[in-house]
Structure 1
Amino acid sequence: MPNNYFQFKQFTVQQEHCALKVCTDACLFGAWVAKKIRNSKSAVQNILDIGTGTGLLSLMLAQQTDAIIDAVEIDESAAMQARQNFKTSPWKERLSVYNNSIQEFAETKNQPYELIISNPPFFENDLRGDNIRRNIALHSSELSLDELLSAIDTYLKDNGSFAVLLPYHRTAYFEKLAGLKYFLQEKILVKQTPKHNYFRSMLLFGSTKVETKESEIIIREEDQQYSSAFTELLKDYYLYL
């Protein structure tokens, strides 16, 4: 049974009221996006987190930036949990949670964002279990990838960028969909170990055409120790790195 909380170096994520718990690939994604922001030539002033869940990604980015971050979460219990996690963090003044669908969010706040991040529902037209809240979090009945891109069109500044974490098998479809308007700037494919197949992709899109950078990250080496690339990204967050 998952722990009710996940302790990081600078913040704690309570998760007992969230259908989906803190997971390694989401931590990797948050750390990667935070590094991209730190290495950018200009500071990001505001960020929108679509489908925040526990608030993990917003907290990771808040630790590494000075940005104002708005997090949207459709599930009432998860939104309450994210709000609690934000209030107990060192960056509570810069973090806000909105308990809305992203489609309704415009009625609450209508402004453009320099960066949008999302770990969207993973599966579409796949088998579902009996847990309704977990189904909404995992499946795209409440937010399809088309709807996600529509929301990005609505909220992204003209020169902004957005990053998504996807299952590997949905990567090509999303690249084609997003490529109708945006340019894929970086793609990282993720493996659990050298012997596993790719299971996640981390994608960064923008409005500027550049040569796409492509690479891979392996989470654990064959000896089950975290890889050097994973350790480098997560060392500012994980307690024992």
Structure 2
Amino acid sequence: MSNTYFKFKQFIIHQEHCAMKVCTDACIQGAFTAQHLALHGHAVKRVLDIGAGTGLLSLMVAQQHAADITAVELDPGAALQSRENFASSPWAERLHLKEADIRTLPAEDQFDFIITNPPFYESALKSGDAKKDQAMHATNLSYAALLEVIAAHLSRAGAFSVLLPYVEFEQFKLLAERAGFHLRRVLRVRQSARHTAWFRAVGIFEWTPGAVLPEDLVIYDEQNVYTLPFIDLLKDYYFKL
């Protein structure tokens, strides 16, 4: 990977205009969510991507599912990047970019599924780089505000996917439950076999209550090589796996 693009099997993610670059965490969310939709998203016709960044998540979903995808991005540089990546992808006709604050989207605009990789940290120290801080910290949209937006735009039969650090995910889950959502699937991620703590979580939430399906993923084994489950999850995307 260079500092300007991330090469996948079917497309290249350009990222020179974005403050936050494509990372493994987001790729895991995209692959896990696309897999979920391929298996359970038969009724999903419209998908909303909140905070699109480079457009990575929309592109990964589009590769596996035939839904029409609307991506919303506030930052002009990131919006430009998404627009360029969408236009050069094999699914350009199904990918639509709106450069806007998600809170300005009309509430009557409903979606069957929502995916979001929100700013990770609500209270951590900021770097001083305004664009990076906006990308990494909940400076424009708190978790509670994000859940309000999701509730306004998610159909009653819909579901949403979110990626967060594991500790923040536990906090987000409580807020989501208060907002009427129910965790139905969770992928807990460890960096390597040498790490004992989970560091990321991808959750699939629905309005409908039910049993929670927990799943675990370790990225690297004891020899610092990608594990077989990681390869299996990402093999349809990474150029070299």
Q: Give the TM-score, by structure 1 length.
A: 0.96
Report how far residue 222 of structure 1 moved: 1.1
**Which SS does the other structure have where 1:13 is aligned?**
strand
Indicate the residue corresponding to 2:21 in structure 1.
21
Deviations 1:149-175 (A, max 9, x none): 000011000100001000111111111
State the alpha-carbon separation in 1 of the partners of residues 211 and 236 from structure 2: 29
Amino acid at match of 2:11: F
Q: CA 1:110–1:87 in structure 2 vs 1: closer, same or farther (change >3 Å)? A: farther
| Cα separation, 2, equivalents of 1:3 and 1:141 | 25
1:179 counterpart SS class: helix
- Cα offsets for 1:149-204 (capped at 9, x unmatched): 00001100010000100011111111111012011101111111022221110101
Residue 112 of structure 1 corresponds to 110
Name the structure 2 match of 1:81.
81
| Aligned equivalent of 2:157, options 146, 156, 159 | 159
Cα displacement (A) at 1:64: 0.5
CA contact (8 A) 1:52 1:72 kept: yes
CA separation in 2, counterparts of 1:122 and 1:53? 14
Map 1:28-67 → 2, pairs under 5 A: 28-40=28-40, 42-67=42-67
Q: Partner of 2:192: helix, strand, or coil?
A: coil
Contact 1:47–1:70 under 8 Å retained in 2? yes
> Aligned-pair distance for 1:214?
1.1
SS in structure 1 opposite 2:48?
A: strand
Aligned AA (2:39): N
Between the aligned partners of 1:100 and 1:41, the Cα distance in structure 2 is 27
- Counterpart CA distance in 2 for 1:124 and 1:205 is 21
Residues 1-241 of structure 1: matches in 2 within 5 Å?
3-40=3-40, 42-106=42-106, 110-180=108-178, 181-196=180-195, 197-241=197-241
Q: Is the contact between residue 2 and residue 21 of structure 1 (CA under 8 Å) also seen in structure 2?
A: no
Q: Which runs of 4+ in 1 moved over 3 A?
A: none
**Residue-by-residue CA offset, 1:36-58 (whole Å, 9 max, x unaligned):** 01111624211000001000000
Would the aligned equivalents of 1:18 and 1:77 in 2 still touch at CA under 8 Å?
yes
Give me the identity figure in percent: 44
SS at match of 1:32: helix
CA distance in 1, matches of 2:173, 2:40: 23
In 2, distance between residues paired with 1:82 and 1:102?
Answer: 15
Give the C-alpha shift of residue 87 in structure 1. 0.2
Q: Evaluate the alpha carbon distance shift between residue 102 and residue 41 of structure 1 in structure 2; reply closer, same or farther with a 3 A threshold.
A: closer
Give the Cα separation in 1 of the matches to 2:148 and 2:111.
14
Cα displacement string for residues 28-78 of structure 1 (whole angstroms, at most 9, x for unaligned residues):
110000000111162421100000100000000001111100001110010
**SS in structure 2 at match of 1:192:** strand
1:96-140 deviation per Cα after TM superposition (whole angstroms, max 9, x unaligned)? 11111111222xx84110000000000112111121101000000
CA contact (8 A) 1:13 1:85 kept: yes
TM value normalised by structure 2: 0.96
Amino acid at match of 1:224: N
Distance 1:110 1:68 in 2: 17
Does the 8 Å contact 1:72/1:105 carry over to 2?
A: no
Alpha-carbon distance, 1:2 to partner: 5.1
